[in-house]
Amino acid sequence: MEAAEIIAVSISVLLIAAEILCLYLCSKLKCKNYPMCIVLPIHNEDKEFTERLDCLSLHIEEDNPLIGSVILLDIGANEEQLQFCREFCQCYHHAEIILPENMEISMKKYLHFK
């Protein structure tokens, strides 16, 4: 390659890197992450409940900024599922087990609804 080609390729690579960096920084500065309230229904027929709870635990342990609070909604859970939920709530203090009739109260508490 000639010197002119090397310079042209070097400048192109530099411009591409600057553009990618700028897009990354601009997206981080513009976007705001608002924490979400995760609602996980618990019912007796859910055979994959423990896997769902483990997946949620992994996201929380990775310090996912989108997870603000976790509501475990008891809509017919068996005792084994409730025990898993209690252990989950002991590990993650922003998690709570509630019944459907208490959903409105919890939503007001967590999400500041009026």
pLDDT truncated to tens, each residue of the chain (114 aa)? Answer: 678 777 777 777 777 777 777 666 665 666 665 667 788 888 888 888 888 888 888 888 877 767 778 889 898 899 999 999 999 999 888 888 998 888 777 777 755 554
Q: Give the number of domains in the chain.
A: 2
User: Rounded CA gap, 65 and 60, in Å?
Assistant: 9
DSSP character at residue 35: P
**First CA to last CA across the chain, in angstroms?**
69
C-alpha–C-alpha distance, residues 89 and 83, integer Å? 10
Give me the residue label for tokens 């068996």.
78
Per-residue model confidence (pLDDT) at position 8: 73
Q: In the prediction, which pLDDT does 1 show?
A: 62
- 46 and 26 in a single domain? The answer is no
74 and 49 fall within a common domain: yes
> Quick one: 48 and 23 in the same domain?
no
pTM (2 d.p.): 0.65
Q: State how far the Cα of 6 lies from the Cα of 113, in Å rounded to an integer.
A: 61
Question: Is the same domain home to 87 and 56?
Answer: yes
pLDDT at 55: 86
Are 47 and 75 found together in one domain? yes
Give pLDDT, residue 27.
59
Model pLDDT, residue 25: 66
Residue 9 belongs to domain spanning: 1-31
If you ran DSSP here, which 8-state letter would residue 113 be given? -
